[in-house]
Amino acid sequence: MRLKRTTFAVLAASMVMAVSACGDAGDDDSGDDAPDAEVAENAADNFDDGTAMKQLAEDGKVTIGVKIDQPGIGFLSGGSDIPTGFDIEVGEWLAADLGIEPEDVEWKETISDNREPFLQDGEVDLVVASYSITPERRAIVGQAGPYYITGQQLMVQKDNDEIESVDDVKGKEVCSVTGSTSLDQVEVKGAEPRGFDTYSQCRDQVLDGTVDAMTTDGSILLGYVAENPDELKVVGPEFSEERYGVGYSKDSPEMCQWITDVIQEKMDDGKWAEAFEATLGESGVETPDPPKMDACKSS
């Protein structure tokens, strides 16, 4: 029975330590030094009556669904109200065109699973959340873009030399978000899939050495590497193509052309590149050329 007491003491101690260890994650504020978009004045006059844009501009508020746990793309650091990242920049351009200041935008956290329902139920007006364009998604929601193209890659500990590309994952433990396509992709390649609820949990598993690699879009991985450049690295060529688009409701097809025009303008005047350098570019990756966007179906 004496043994039980020791066991308990060890357990209690490890619990206290574990709880305190959890507190140090994610306090690195990468800052937002991208230039603010110029907010349009009397924006409502620029839109035709009956369009969703007119409505939003008149209301003076817009709800944008974003990720808040992906550094460089959409990340909310503790203590601040406005997330930072490339997706957020895109959201700010669109809001500015509606005459809405960034601080008046309602940034709503979306996770991968609830982006379509949020758009369908009108919970958010737009989704800019590392949202890959796929035919399945385009069947139920609208997606304009792509405003950025990335692809699935692997992230490992810096000193790992066993995994150099996706062909090396056979028999290895690879984590991602539960139910994500990325996880299915590596499972097909023979990896042991380890699903977590969020990307940051998965990143921690790689840092702690409990899994061999993490997999998802390269842009998301680059954001994590930028936070821990001494411990992590991204390896291998991209083994899928992810084309990030802006999600909107199927009820407002007129939004497609508007979104495409706003982004195209930023691509042409160099604001796209500036925003990239200030966000994803911080991981040291070269600024790519802006992708060519899909034409909108005339409604």
Considering beta carbons, is residue 26 or 291 the nearer one to another protein?
A: 26
Least distance to another protein from the beta carbon of 196, Å?
6
Specify the DSSP class assigned to residue 97.
Answer: H
Considering beta carbons, is residue 201 or 228 the nearer one to another protein?
A: 201
Least distance to another protein from the beta carbon of 250, Å?
15
Site string for another protein, 111-140 (x = CB under 8 A): --x----------------------x----
Site string for another protein, 193-232 (x = CB under 8 A): xxxxx---x--xx--xxxx---------------------
Residue with tokens 């043994």: 3
Considering beta carbons, is residue 173 or 294 the nearer one to another protein?
A: 173
- Can the peptide bond before residue 117 be classed as cis, meaning omega within 30 degrees of 0? no
Least distance to another protein from the beta carbon of 170, Å?
17
**Residues numbered 24-83 forming contacts with another protein, rule: CB under 8 A:** none
Q: What distance in Å separates the CA atoms of residue 162 and residue 192, rounded to the nearest whole number? A: 16
CB count in 10 Å sphere of residue 222: 22
Supply the DSSP string of 20-32, one letter for each residue. HHHTTTT------
Least distance to another protein from the beta carbon of 119, Å?
16
Considering beta carbons, is residue 21 or 82 the nearer one to another protein?
A: 21
Residues 6+ apart with CB under 8 A from 84: 30, 31, 32, 74, 75, 76, 77, 279
DSSP 3-state of 61:
coil
Least distance to another protein from the beta carbon of 245, Å?
17
Stretch touching another protein by CB under 8 A, among 8-16, 39-47, 62-70, 273-281: 8-16
Q: What distance in Å separates the CA atoms of residue 28 and residue 6, rounded to the nearest whole number? A: 38
What are the beta bridge partners of residue 247? 127, 143
Considering beta carbons, is residue 31 or 179 the nearer one to another protein?
A: 179
- Give the number of residues in contact with another protein, rule: CB under 8 A: 33
Residues 6+ apart with CB under 8 A from 160: 212, 213, 233, 235
Site string for another protein, 166-195 (x = CB under 8 A): -------x-x--xxxx-xx--------xxx
Q: What distance in Å separates the CA atoms of residue 222 and residue 236, rounded to the nearest whole number? A: 13
Q: What distance in Å separates the CA atoms of residue 106 and residue 103, rounded to the nearest whole number? A: 8
- List residues near another protein by CB under 8 A: 1, 4-5, 8, 14-15, 17-19, 21-22, 113, 136, 173, 175, 178-181, 183-184, 193-197, 201, 204-205, 208-211
